[in-house]
């Protein structure tokens, strides 16, 4: 086998990072309380009637446990039905209900509108070049994927199907991750908010405390990766009393923003806390972190306390938020 060029490897990884950002432009789903991952699963269910969970996990790249929780929520909403396959009693077929189709319709319309908006910035020739290039990449990476695609004429622009973003993998903390968490927080908050190195010192203290007192039966940390590169973190630790958990060190790097990663990380914490019979989750944040605050509110957290102070070289407003489980 011919040796693989290092330059080729770097080019593919560069494109993956670029397209992760671009996917947020093409598919910034905003309907209801659905995360981008929820929307992706709903899309696959709409376009794969009668699919089975194992196939759905394969095409979305989601782990089976995470996918199962999404499907249970969809069932509770009346969007999905399960029925035993008449051909193989061991298989359970998944189908969208009329209510599920109704929930999916605005997402389909929004995705089509976003793709159309991108295409309107180009002339006919460039549109066709873009679609041809996309289909060529798809053909090279998955030759079977275009077998049932639409037929293109020499002059017509092929319809653009909403493209799922690059898969984000969540995993447990490994050696070397905690140093990255400290560095990534310090760099992000200095760059975006002008905070000084006392914030880096605080993050280092939180990380050190996590290691010193870690209780695997009640606490957990997650690292998010895209293409093998770290793009996010979150930790759930014991809070102010035995029945309270606390979210610490939520971080979503610029490369993964717009993908729903922040909401997914918080969801992991909420579900873990419930599985450990915590009664409440608390977190500490700042009023200037508007995107995070909006996400917390959307997930059911409420602001319970705030005050002005001077910290990290700035005048800030700290906030405590809580959620009852």
pLDDT at 325: 93
Confidence of residue 222 (pLDDT cuts 50, 70, 90): very high
C-alpha 216/C-alpha 163 separation (Å) is: 38
- What average pLDDT does this structure show over 233-239? 97
Confidence of residue 24 (pLDDT cuts 50, 70, 90): low
pLDDT in tens, 172-186: 999 999 999 999 999
What totals of helices (H) and strands (E) does the chain contain, helices first? 10, 9
Neighbouring C-alpha atoms within 13 Å toward the C-beta of 30: 8
- Within 10 Å of residue 138's Cβ, how many Cβ atoms? 15
- The yes-or-no verdict on residue 158 having pLDDT over 50 is no
Q: Distance between terminal CA atoms of the chain?
A: 55
pLDDT in tens, 89-137: 788 899 999 888 888 888 777 777 777 877 888 887 788 888 878 877 8
Highest mean pLDDT among 116-125, 246-255, 277-286: 277-286
- The yes-or-no verdict on residue 285 having pLDDT over 80 is yes
pLDDT at 164: 46
pLDDT at 277: 96
C-alpha 220/C-alpha 129 separation (Å) is: 47
Domains of the chain: 6-146 (1.10.10.10), 169-324 (3.40.630.30)
Per the listing, tokens 């007192």 go with: 213
Confidence of residue 148 (pLDDT cuts 50, 70, 90): very low
- The yes-or-no verdict on residue 198 having pLDDT over 80 is yes
pLDDT at 195: 95
Share of the chain above pLDDT 70, in %: 86
C-alpha 55/C-alpha 52 separation (Å) is: 5
Neighbouring C-alpha atoms within 13 Å toward the C-beta of 220: 18
Label residues 245-276 b or e (16+ Cβ within 10 Å = b).
bbbbbbbbbebbbbbbbbbbbbbbbbebbeeb
Our CA dihedral for 27, 30, 35, 37, rounded to 10 degrees, sits at -20
* Helix axis angle, 290-298 to 261-275, nearest 10°: 50
Q: Which of 168, 165, 174 is nearest to 225 (CA)?
A: 168
**Mean pLDDT computed over every residue of the chain:** 84
- What average pLDDT does this structure show over 196-207? 97
pLDDT at 145: 57
- Within 10 Å of residue 183's Cβ, how many Cβ atoms? 13
Range in 155-169, 203-217, 290-304 the model is least confident about: 155-169
Residue 78 carries which DSSP code?
T
- What average pLDDT does this structure show over 35-42? 80
**Would the pTM count as exceeding 0.75?**
no
pLDDT at 3: 73
DSSP alpha helix (H) spans, the chain: 6-26, 36-47, 53-60, 64-76, 98-119, 124-141, 177-193, 197-213, 261-275, 290-298
């Amino acid at each position: 086998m011919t040796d693989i060029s290092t330059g080729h490897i770097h080019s593919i990884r560069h494109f993956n990072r670029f397209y992760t950002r671009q996917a947020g432009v093409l598919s910034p789903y905003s309907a209801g309380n659905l995360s981008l991952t929820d929307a992706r699963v709903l899309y696959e269910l709409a376009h794969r009637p009668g699919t089975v969970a194992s196939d759905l996990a394969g095409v979305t790249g989601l782990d089976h446990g995470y996918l199962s929780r999404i499907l249970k929520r969809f069932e509770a909403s009346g969007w999905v039905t399960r029925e035993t396959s008449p051909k193989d009693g061991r298989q359970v077929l998944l189908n969208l209900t009329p209510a599920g189709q109704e929930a999916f319709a605005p997402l389909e319309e929004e995705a089509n509108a976003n793709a159309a908006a991108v295409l309107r910035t180009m002339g006919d020739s460039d549109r066709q070049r873009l679609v041809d290039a996309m289909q060529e990449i798809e053909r090279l990476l998955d030759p079977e994927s275009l077998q049932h695609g639409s037929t293109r004429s020499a002059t017509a622009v092929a319809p653009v199907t909403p493209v799922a973003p690059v898969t984000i993998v969540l995993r447990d903390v490994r050696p070397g991750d905690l140093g990255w968490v400290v560095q990534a927080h310090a760099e992000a908050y200095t760059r975006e908010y002008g905070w000084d190195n006392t914030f880096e010192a605080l993050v280092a203290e939180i990380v050190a405390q996590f290691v010193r007192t870690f209780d695997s039966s009640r606490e957990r940390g997650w690292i998010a990766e895209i293409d093998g590169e770290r793009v996010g973190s979150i930790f759930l630790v014991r809070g102010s009393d035995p029945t309270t958990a606390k979210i610490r060190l939520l971080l979503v790097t610029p490369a993964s923003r717009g993908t729903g990663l922040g909401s997914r990380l918080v969801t992991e914490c909420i579900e873990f806390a419930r599985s450990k019979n915590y009664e409440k989750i608390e977190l500490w944040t700042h009023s200037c972190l508007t995107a995070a605050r909006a996400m917390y509110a959307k997930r059911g957290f409420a602001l319970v306390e705030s005050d002005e102070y001077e910290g990290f070289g700035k005048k800030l407003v700290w906030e405590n938020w809580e959620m009852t489980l």
